[in-house]
Amino acid sequence: MKEGYWNVTTELGYTKMFKRHLGLWRWVDEFMALNKIKSVFEVGPGLLDNINKKVEIYQSVDLTKNGNSIYDDFTTMNLDEFKGKFDLLLACAVVEHCNGYRDFFKRALDIKAKFVVISFFNGINRYEEHIKTVSDKHTNEFKFYLNSYSQREMEKELDKLGVLNKSEFITLGRKNSILIIRL
């Protein structure tokens, strides 16, 4: 697997990201305490340092080499060994970088965690979806997706998956939106 954009993000970039998402991370801490979360499967381990010290079982997967994370693509990797072993599947600010949310939702539900929490760092649009790719300005080579999704369209997909009545969207601050699925 090729190392990509996220490996070259500066320390300053992560500091700014941390400040922007501080409210989200506090909310995750409260959610975990309230729901007595003891095991977490995290996709794109942005909360690694916060969460792995607070639970008995922690596993993460990431597209970049990141500590003890499994170095793989969540959207295509074999999930069999992880099914039914976690209280929470957590994906913070990850799905915007995937080629759509439909397959991501299916994969997240496949883990069979008690809760699925997916955050959207640019918020959620009420009606419109914006699919955007970012390319290297010098080589024009694809780097990553930077998508924005519609709550209405995601609700249709959740209904098809049979979990709309178990789903809730909340907003933190100006931009952070969260999808919670209680299974």
Domains assigned to the chain: 5-182 (3.40.50.150)
Angle at 31 between CA 148 and CA 114, to 5 degrees: 85
Q: Is 149 exposed, middle or buried (0-12, 13-18, 19+ CB in 10 A)?
A: buried
Q: In this structure, which long-range contacts are made by residues 51-54, counting pairs with CB atoms below 8 Å and at least 24 apart in sequence?
A: 51/90, 54/29
Three-class secondary structure of residue 13 per DSSP: helix
The model's pTM: 0.81
pLDDT at 2: 36
As given in the structure block, the two tokens for residue 85 are: 């072993």
Tokens 């729901």 belong to which residue? 35
Q: What is the pLDDT of residues 125-182, one digit of tens each?
A: 665 666 665 565 666 665 555 667 888 889 999 999 999 999 999 988 777 788 999 9
Is residue 1 predicted with pLDDT exceeding 70? no
As given in the structure block, the two tokens for residue 142 are: 């694809």
Cβ pair 119, 24 in contact under 8 A: yes
Q: How far is CA 155 from CA 75, 102, 126, in A?
A: 20, 11, 11
What's the mean per-residue pLDDT of the chain?
79
Q: Which of 75, 46, 179 is nearest to 124 (CA)?
A: 179
Residues 23-43 have a mean pLDDT of 89
Q: How far is CA 150 from CA 20, 30, 33, in A?
A: 22, 26, 30
Q: What is the pLDDT of residues 82-99, one digit of tens each?
A: 999 999 999 988 887 777
Three-class secondary structure of residue 129 per DSSP: coil
